[in-house]
């Protein structure tokens, strides 16, 4: 079970969180023309990376904040965690 540092609450066990996928995906702006291809990329296409990966987790059974976690998908090592408002590096 992973041990995730919530930037708001501190170290917490994985079972307090729910996974939210790739944190680098940006939702296209509202009311803006977008090609089918770009929209499909946003809705469906995700990279399945081996290695460092910024991903979203929600501290569901805690502060309910969505956070950004930099995790190695192969080793589960967690390098950094950010608040939702912080940009990923």
Partner 1 sequence: MTQSFRLENVGLINRDKKLSFKFNGKIYYGYEGDTLASALIANGIHLIGRSFKYHRPRGFFGAGVDEPYAIVQLYRNGETEPNTKATEQELFEGLEATSINCWPSVNFDVGAINNFLKIFLPAGFYYKTFMWPKSFWYKVYEPLIRKAAGLGVASTKHDKERYEHKYEYCDLLIAGSGPSGLASAYAAAKNGARVILAEDKARFGGTLITSEVNIGNQSGKEWAEGIIAELKEMPNVTIKNRSQVFGYYDHNMLVMSERISDHLPKTKKFHPKQRLWYIRAKEVLISTGSIERPIVFGNNDTPGVMLSSAAKEYLKVYGVLVGRNPLIFTNNDSGYETAIEFKKNGVDSIILDTRKDPQSEIVNEAKNLGIDIKFSYVVVAAQGYKKVKSADIAKISDDKEQLGAIKNIKCDCICVSGFWTPTIHLASQSGNKIKFNEDIDAFVPGRSKQNEKTLGAANGIYTLEETLENSFETGHELSKKITNNDNKISLPKVIEKKSTTHDKFWCVPLPRGKNYKRFLDFQNDVAVSDVEIALKEGYRSIEHVKRYTTLGMATDQGKTSNLNGLQLVSSIENKIVPEVGHTTFRPPYTPVTIGAIVGREVGKHSRPTRKSPIHSWHEKNNAVFVDAGVWLRPRYYKRGNETLFEGSKREARNVRKNVGVCDVTTLGKIDIKGPDAAELLNRVYTNAWLKLPVGKARYGVMLREDGIVMDDGTTTRISENHYHMTTTTAQAANVLSHLEYYLQLVWSELNVNVVSTTEQWAGAAIAGPRSRDLLKELFPKCDVSNEGLPFMGYMEGDLFGVKARIFRISFSGELAYEINVESDNANFMWKKIIEVGEKFKIQPYGTEALSTLRIEMGHVAGSELDGRTIPYDNSLEGLVSNKKDFIGKRSLNREAFISSDRQKVVGVVPLDKKTSIPEGSHLVKDSKAPLPNTKLGYISASCWSVEYDNPFSLAILKDGKNMIGKKLFAMSPLKNKIIPVEIVSSHYVDPKGERVRS
Binding site for partner 1 (CB under 8 A): 1-3, 13, 18, 20, 27-28, 30-31, 34, 39, 42-44, 56, 58, 60, 64-66, 75-76, 78, 84-85
Label the pairing between strands 18-22 and 10-13.
unpaired
Cβ-proximal residues to 66 (8 Å cutoff; 6+ apart), any chain: 20, 56, 57, 58, 59, 84
Q: Minimum distance between the CB of residue 48 and partner 1, rounded to whole angstroms?
A: 19
Nearer to partner 1, 49 or 84 (CB): 84
Nearer to partner 1, 34 or 49 (CB): 34
Q: Minimum distance between the CB of residue 73 and partner 1, rounded to whole angstroms?
A: 12
Q: Minimum distance between the CB of residue 85 and partner 1, rounded to whole angstroms?
A: 6
Nearest to 50 by CA among 68, 72, 70: 72
Nearest to 19 by CA among 83, 52, 67: 67
């Amino acid at each position: 079970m992973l041990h995730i540092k919530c930037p708001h609450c501190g170290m917490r066990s994985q079972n307090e969180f729910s996974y939210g996928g790739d944190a680098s995906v940006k939702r296209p702006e509202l009311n803006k023309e977008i090609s089918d291809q770009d929209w499909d990329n946003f809705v469906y296409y995700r990279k399945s990376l081996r290695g460092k990966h910024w991903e979203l987790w929600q501290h569901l059974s805690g502060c309910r904040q969505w956070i950004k976690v930099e995790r190695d998908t192969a080793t589960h090592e967690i390098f950094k965690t950010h608040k939702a408002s912080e940009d990923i590096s």
